[in-house]
Amino acid sequence: MIENGDDPAPQLAFETSLAHYIVLGSAVFSIFWGLVNAMMVRNIDMTKDHGKFIQKALDAKTEEDDEDDDEKPKDAAGIHARLNLLGEMITNGAISFLAEEYLYLSLFCAAFAVVLGLTVDW
């Protein structure tokens, strides 16, 4: 029971002055980690010839697999060129998707900022 009538101070898990530093530190670290991963992905050499792996896969094919492959390339260089073409098509599709996605996201953020600006007390 409380003897002097004062409410006891609530126990805090951490100082509230630390909250800003924790949030800011987490944000900076996540940006840093994203940049590290982006640089690791960019350093992958996609121009290197992967012919020996493709040739190994071609050697493992059976004759049953060749029945409906009339328009597909049969040599390692042709398959590598086709894979590069497919990679470019996927990259272009992803870029156009992200452009459209960010357009709608920015419109939503702008509308939500207006709603918050009009409804939050200062």
Evaluate whether residue 92 is within a structural domain: yes
Domain range for residue 112? 16-119
Amino acid at 90: I
Nearest-angstrom CA–CA distance, 12 and 104: 40
Evaluate whether residue 2 is within a structural domain: no
- Helix-strand-coil percent breakdown of the chain, rounded to 5? 70, 0, 30
Statement: the pTM of the whole predicted model exceeds 0.75: no
Mean pLDDT of 12-33: 83
- Total structural domains in the chain? 1
Evaluate whether residue 34 is within a structural domain: yes
Q: Are 97 and 72 in contact (CB under 8 A)?
A: no
- The residue to which tokens 């590290």 are assigned: 36
- The residue to which tokens 């100082």 are assigned: 15
Q: Are 109 and 103 in contact (CB under 8 A)?
A: no
**pLDDT of 56-112, one tens digit each?**
776 776 555 555 566 777 777 888 888 888 999 999 999 999 999 999 999 999 999
Evaluate whether residue 7 is within a structural domain: no
Nearest-angstrom CA–CA distance, 11 and 9: 6
